[in-house]
Amino acid sequence: MTDKNTSTDIAHSAAKFDRIRRAHQSEVAEDYVEMISELIESTGEARTVDLAARFGVTSPTVNAIIQRLQREDLVETRPYRSIFLTDKGKALAEASQARHQIVRDFLVTIGVSAGVAEEDAEGVEHHVSDETLRVFAEITRRGRIES
């Protein structure tokens, strides 16, 4: 192996892990805005206590994440009121929900049970590329995998 190949391999590896790190960093924000959207849709509001219960974490943990989401202009809060999505937060929630649906539907198409597909999609949706999502959607649309 030459120095050039080693440098190329190192750069490729660094780029791959950078993409993974960015996916991990955005995963919490995506999960929270998606859940806030679902709560607002199903109950009319999203409260800290509801988020804590749904994610199995404490209210202080939720508060810390909500503060981060406020800094990122994804949510708005008002004293003694629910949590609201900004336009940017709504867009992220919609994109996250769409990614989740594509992954879930693909997994069901290839034979994974609906319950397992729903659970697995929750993790996978954050770590697949746009290209992979397009292929998942196309396979799902066709209803089968061609060899």
Residue 81, pLDDT score: 82
DSSP 21: H
In a domain, 109, yes or no: yes
Residue 10, pLDDT score: 75
pLDDT tens by residue, 128-143: 889 999 999 999 999 8
Residue 8, pLDDT score: 75
The pTM score is: 0.76
Measured between alpha carbons, how far is residue 32 from residues 50, 124, 134, 143 in Å? 11, 16, 24, 31
In a domain, 125, yes or no: yes
Residue 66 corresponds to which amino acid? I
In a domain, 147, yes or no: no
The count of structural domains within the chain is: 1
Structure tokens belonging to residue 69: 């989401």
In a domain, 114, yes or no: yes
pLDDT tens by residue, 9-20: 777 666 666 666
In a domain, 83, yes or no: yes
Query: Which CATH number does the domain housing residue 56 bear?
Result: 1.10.10.10
Measured between alpha carbons, how far is residue 31 from residues 3, 28, 35, 122 in Å? 42, 5, 6, 8
In a domain, 111, yes or no: yes
Structure tokens belonging to residue 113: 């049970």
Give Cβ neighbours of residue 66 (< 8 Å, ≥ 6 apart).
Answer: 32, 48, 51, 75, 77, 83
Domain residues for 13?
Answer: 3-142
Q: Which residues of the chain have pLDDT under 70?
A: 1-5, 7, 12-25, 144-147
Residue 89 has phi, psi (to 5 degrees) of: -65, -40
Residue with tokens 């209803």: 143
